């Protein structure tokens, strides 16, 4: 095989293999989030399948071009059909997330990585080189270069400008081209190539109607809520992030109305600066002229989507597209109130936004005496280890906080945590019969 052709095929393999991993990680976010316990096993399984592919490829002794072309064709079908949003959603629909995750990884991502991993060891048999090390080194160079460019261009260019569907379709087309270049197909094989392209095109071009970016899937759905007039939900990563109806004045999601009541009625904030981490549908500031709002969200496209599809009018307040933790750690501005509403999936807060260091950064961004409100999705009785540990972490930064569970009988409920940035108080003491200071402490507190 001519060196230029061989390196082109190896480049396509590297581009599409790591591209498939990037797309898979993105497709998993709406269903299981992006925490380290999801990304690390996904990367690990991908690398394991790739290693097994290297080993399998080293044992191929005949029909090198046919084997690579076959692998590319199967990989193209797996990528174009298996990584389409409709396929991934169908896998996770009505299934335990852990089981669906294993089906997705074991049935789509790992087979794809195993097949493409065979490419370099197989094709080095066709390379004209004086030394085996030279052949392997040059092939790995072009494969790794393809992996680098695939990860960068798909995540930073294709997904950002067109959407995830375009990244899936581009990878599929490249694999079909790679199969064609590897083995000039007969008419029957050409028909198979065309069928794979048609399958991938049908599934992924249909996804153009979905609103997705490199960070999240968005959808506006009509819903039914008692007492609301034609309500619609702003769904982010399969989670209802905001709710609004056509009442005058509009009604919002219960947790949003609860937070607004705390800010506007209980605390009587007016002419104050309020920072919101996690933009959602920008409903917290909707038609609220009393205060100045700043929204921070990692997705630069969310404001335009919310204005066009959900609010159907301009969102009130300033918008900063950056990571929430980075913003609170570096901002020089101090706010009167801070609202934390950050979720990457239905129940998953990104891991770096639950640590004590993050909550200390939120406190640093508040003025003395400022209030921090956090919307958390926890079990209704606050009995799970996650609920107990997360609340303890927040209170380690703020001291005692108020916790209001909105749906106490539900398995999962919005829990609104309210904390104030006050000076550190003396350590708590437990009252016991032998040494009961309750009356003294009560008089000191009045």
Helix (H, G, I), strand (E, B) or coil at 175: helix
Quote the pLDDT of residue 18: 95
- DSSP calls for 144-160: HHHHHHHHHHIIIIIHH
CB 357 within 8 A of CB 346: no
270-275, Cβ contacts within 8 angstroms, sequence gap of 24 or more: 272/336, 272/337, 273/333, 273/334, 273/335, 273/336, 273/337, 274/335, 274/336, 274/337, 274/338, 274/339, 275/328, 275/335, 275/337, 275/338, 275/339, 275/365
Q: Which domains does the chain possess?
A: 3-212 (1.20.1250), 217-420 (3.40.50.150)
CB 10 within 8 A of CB 146: yes
Helix residue spans in 207-339 (DSSP H): 254-261, 302-305, 324-330
Quote the pLDDT of residue 315: 94
Quote the pLDDT of residue 345: 58
**Residues 232-264: tens digit of each pLDDT:** 999 888 788 899 999 989 999 999 999 999 999
Helix residue spans in 183-220 (DSSP H): 187-206
Q: Give 194's Cβ-side CA count (13 Å radius).
A: 7
Average pLDDT score over the chain: 89
> Counting Cβ atoms within 10 Å, is residue 116 exposed (0-12), middle (13-18) or buried (19+)?
buried
Is residue 425 very low, low, confident or very high in pLDDT (cuts 50, 70, 90)? low
Quote the pLDDT of residue 3: 85
Is residue 207 very low, low, confident or very high in pLDDT (cuts 50, 70, 90)? low
Quote the pLDDT of residue 211: 80
Other Cβ atoms within 10 Å of 158 Cβ, number? 22
- DSSP calls for 94-118: TS-HHHHHHHHIIIIIHHHHHHHHT
What gap in Å lies between CA 17 and CA 311, rounded to an integer? 39
150-154, Cβ contacts within 8 angstroms, sequence gap of 24 or more: 150/14, 150/15, 150/16, 150/17, 150/18, 150/19, 150/22, 151/18, 151/19, 151/22, 154/19, 154/22, 154/23
What gap in Å lies between CA 245 and CA 107, rounded to an integer? 42
Structure tokens at 359: 């909550």
Structure tokens at 177: 């081209």
Structure tokens at 325: 């933790």
**Confidence (pTM):** 0.80
Higher pLDDT, 128 or 27: 27
Q: Comparing C-alpha atoms, which of 357, 370, 369, 356 is closest to residue 274?
A: 370
Taken in order 8, 9, 10, 16, is the CA torsion positive or negative? positive
Is residue 427 very low, low, confident or very high in pLDDT (cuts 50, 70, 90)? confident
Sheet holding 239-244, edge to edge: 211-212, 217-222, 232-236, 239-244
Q: Please give the average per-residue pLDDT across 301-307, as a whole number.
A: 93
Q: Comparing C-alpha atoms, which of 139, 177, 134 is closest to residue 16?
A: 177
Measure Cα distances from 290 to 202, 273, 404 in Å: 49, 10, 25
pLDDT over 60 at 310, yes or no:
yes
Is residue 129 very low, low, confident or very high in pLDDT (cuts 50, 70, 90)? low
pLDDT over 90 at 304, yes or no:
yes
Is residue 439 very low, low, confident or very high in pLDDT (cuts 50, 70, 90)? confident
CB 237 within 8 A of CB 29: yes
**Residues 377-394: tens digit of each pLDDT:** 999 899 999 999 999 999
Structure tokens at 67: 């084997």
Quote the pLDDT of residue 443: 75
């Amino acid at each position: 095989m001519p060196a230029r052709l061989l390196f082109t095929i190896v480049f396509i393999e590297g581009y599409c293999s790591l591209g498939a991993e990037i797309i898979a990680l993105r497709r998993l976010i709406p269903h299981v989030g992006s925490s380290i316990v999801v990304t690390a096993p996904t990367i690990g399984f991908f690398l394991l399948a790739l290693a097994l592919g290297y080993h399998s490829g080293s044992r191929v002794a005949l029909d090198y071009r046919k084997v690579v072309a076959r692998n590319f064709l199967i990989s193209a079908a797996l990528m174009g059909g298996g990584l389409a949003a409709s396929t991934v959603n169908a896998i996770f629909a009505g299934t335990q997330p852990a089981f669906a995750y294993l089906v997705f990884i074991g049935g789509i991502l790992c087979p794809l990585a195993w097949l493409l991993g065979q490419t370099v060891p197989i094709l080095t048999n066709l390379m004209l080189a004086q030394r085996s090390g030279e052949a392997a080194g040059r092939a790995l160079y072009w494969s790794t270069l393809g992996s680098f460019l695939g990860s960068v261009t798909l995540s930073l260019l294709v997904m950002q400008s067109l959407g995830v569907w375009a990244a899936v379709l581009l990878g599929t087309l490249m694999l079909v081209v790679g199969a064609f270049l590897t083995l000039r197909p007969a008419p029957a094989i050409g028909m198979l190539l065309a069928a794979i392209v048609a399958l991938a095109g049908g599934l992924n071009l249909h996804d153009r109607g979905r609103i997705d970016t490199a960070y999240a899937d968005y959808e506006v759905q009509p819903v039914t809520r008692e007492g609301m007039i034609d309500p619609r939900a702003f769904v982010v990563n399969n989670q209802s992030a905001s709710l609004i109806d056509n009442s005058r004045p509009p009604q919002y999601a219960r947790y949003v109305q609860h937070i607004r009541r705390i800010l506007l009625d209980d605390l009587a904030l007016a002419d104050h600066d309020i920072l919101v981490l996690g933009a959602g549908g920008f409903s917290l500031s909707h038609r609220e002229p009393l205060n100045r709002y700043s929204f921070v969200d990692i997705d630069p496209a969310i404001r335009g989507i919310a204005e066009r599809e959900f609010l159907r009018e301009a969102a009130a307040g300033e918008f900063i597209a950056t990571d929430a933790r980075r913003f609170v750690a570096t901002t020089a501005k101090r706010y009167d109130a801070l609202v934390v509403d950050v979720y990457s999936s239905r129940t998953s807060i990104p891991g770096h936004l639950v640590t004590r260091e993050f909550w200390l950064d939120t406190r640093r961004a508040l003025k003395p005496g400022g209030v921090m409100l956090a919307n958390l999705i926890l079990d209704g009785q606050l009995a799970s280890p996650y609920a107990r540990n997360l609340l303890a972490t927040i209170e380690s930064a703020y001291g005692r906080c108020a916790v209001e569970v909105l749906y106490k009988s539900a398995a999962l409920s919005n829990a609104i945590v309210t904390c104030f940035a006050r000076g550190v108080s003396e350590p708590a003491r437990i009252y016991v019969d032998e040494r009961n200071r309750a009356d003294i402490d009560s008089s000191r507190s009045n």
